[in-house]
Structure 1
């Protein structure tokens, strides 16, 4: 058996998946309708909408299968997300990648597989619409086009979820998405007695960049800033563009730490280094600069997410005023 490769952009892919908040959600008729159609149209025993998580494949919609998930390392769909076109295995028992796979030799006895990768944007495949059967099969060109068309419908349904929670320019959480995820994280922190840090970012002289270099450069700065945040913070940290040139990160850590502000300080130092490196590499006629404010809270705080954001925002403006004061001296 050949295990599926992990995509090179796995961190970005998993973050986008987490932001969708689709994992472990209830079955929905808009997805079940498509898998029912696919099962009937292609006369297969199983049709799925499979989502590839870090260590598992989880099924958003299933027809002909009782399972809700299987390990990722034996998943056919985990192979399929590594390409943009259909992934078809006519006879798994004769394929060197799968002939000894437990899904082939075990109870499911998979022989035929066809998966249409589901992307939420170019290069970010989160799962598949797939067909499975216990008999070898082949898809002609018309069948392949039909599977791609059904996959496109699933993609549109997923994007309708995405647009409600993601910022279209930077493709990280928007305010709505952040507040939803942060509320969940707050409950986890309270249950596990973990402290929290909120870091509020505001770009400096962003209006000047827009005015002097054009809005396309402004958009480039926003997208670059978001990408550096994504690469600098941990996968378990929440990041978002709240609107305009304002960004936020929410970090959690154990209250047993002597200095529970430590992880925020380390993250800010790492982020500052990444911004400096980007400014050197990009060689633009301007520098990406920002102000940041941090607020710290213990797990038993009674403050709302909005109230904690306001404290971080106030800390950021305090730093921005100090920077402006220093620059006039």
Structure 2
């Protein structure tokens, strides 16, 4: 048996997979319908929609298989996600990768396998739509095309899930996505006893930009801020538009002092982008920075609330200064 290797984009792939909040969720008709069609169309006893997690492959939808998951080390789908093509094994007995695999030697006694990778909007292979039979069989080019067509429908359902977590205007996470990814980041840092900080951001006088220059210009303002956040933050960080003119960033392995240094670079980059685009106005922001403290914060919601309060205090101070 040859265990599957890791994709080059493994960390980004896992982050994107978990941001979808599909793992360990209840069955859904939108996916079950596809596995039923696949089983009948190709006349196979088993059809699956799989998601390949860090150490397991988990079945979002399953026809003909009772197990909810198997180890990634022995998975066929772990091999599929290494490529963008359909992987077909017509007879596992003649394939050194799988001939002595526990899934061929024992239940479900796989002899035939065909799997098509399921890609996210960002191009990561998250899992597969796959077919399994207990007897060897051939698989024609036309059947490969049919499997790809069904997989495209499964990808569309995954994309709809992803879009539900993404802000359509700025293409960064929305509030729901921030909560999901932020909780994952917080758990990761807490397990490893790493610092983590949240930066809450609000656009000052955003209504005036909309009123004076139009909503299209207001949208450009929000997109510029998102672009700056995306440019400065690492893959381990989480950035989001959490409200109309409010943004948040969770910075992993970062103290409050480290977050302040990031903000200095953020302000400089924002100023440069505004100059490059010749904006007829200044983008003024208020910030709230808070470092996670397990003695004061029990969850992400409390961390965000404190960041929001600190941001609001700075906003009030700025408004008071302008009046004076």
- TM-score, structure 1 normalization: 0.72
Of 282, 295, 309, which residue of structure 1 is paired with 2:304?
309
Residue of structure 2 equivalent to 1:60: 60
Which residue number corresponds to residue 175 of structure 2? 175
What displacement does 1:30 show? 1.8
The runs of at least 4 consecutive aligned structure 1 residues that moved more than 6 Å come to 183-190, 214-218, 270-277, 288-291, 302-307, 317-324
Matches within 5 A, 1:42-61: 42-61=42-61
Aligned to 1:259: none
Aligned residues: 310
Q: CA RMSD of the aligned region, Å?
A: 4.6
- Give me the whole-angstrom Cα distance separating, in 2, the residues matched to 1:322 and 1:17: 41
Residues 172 and 241, structure 2, Cα contact 8 Å, conserved in 1: yes
What does residue 76 of structure 1 align with?
Answer: 76
Residue of structure 2 in register with 1:226 after alignment:
230
What CA distance in whole angstroms lies between the structure 2 residues aligned with 1:241 and 1:172? 7
Q: CA deviation at 1:269?
A: 4.8
- Structure 1 position 109, deviation (Å): 2.4
Report the equivalent of 1:152. Answer: 152
For the structure 1 residues 65 and 294, does the alpha-carbon distance in structure 2 shift closer, same or farther, using more than 3 Å as the test?
A: same
CA distance in 1, matches of 2:176, 2:80: 31
User: After the TM superposition, which residues 1-329 of structure 1 pair with which residues of structure 2 at under 5 Å, given as runs?
Assistant: 1-168=1-168, 171-179=171-179, 197-201=197-201, 219=223, 222-223=226-227, 225-226=229-230, 228-233=232-237, 238-243=238-243, 246-250=246-250, 263-266=255-258, 269=261, 285=276, 292-296=287-291, 298-299=293-294, 308-316=303-311
Deviation at residue 98 of structure 1 after TM alignment = 2.3
Distance in 1, matches of 2:88 and 2:13, equals 23
- Tell me, in whole angstroms, the C-alpha distance in 2 between the residues paired with 1:4 and 1:36: 27
Distance in 1, Cα, partners of 2:235 & 2:176: 22
1:138-168 deviation digits (Å, cap 9, x = unpaired) = 2212211211111122122222222222224
Question: Is contact 1:228-1:275 (8 Å) kept?
Answer: no
Structure 2 residues without counterparts, runs of 5 or longer: 278-282, 320-324
Q: Is the 8 A contact 2:121 2:159 kept in 1?
A: no
Contact 2:236 2:251 in 1 (8 A): no
Deviates more, 1:57-66 or 1:219-228: 219-228
Q: Secondary structure at the match of 1:85?
A: coil
What's the offset of the Cα at 1:104? 2.3
Deviations 1:206-234 (A, max 9, x none): 98xx99xx98897476346326424253x
Q: Provide the secondary structure at the position in 2 that maps to 1:99.
A: coil
What is the CA–CA distance in structure 2 between the aligned matches of 1:141 and 1:317, rounded to whole Å?
61
SS in structure 2 of the partner of residue 231 of structure 1:
coil
After superposition, the C-alpha distances for 1:246-284 in whole angstroms (9 at most, x for unaligned) are 43234799xxxxxxxx7444466578779989x99x9x9
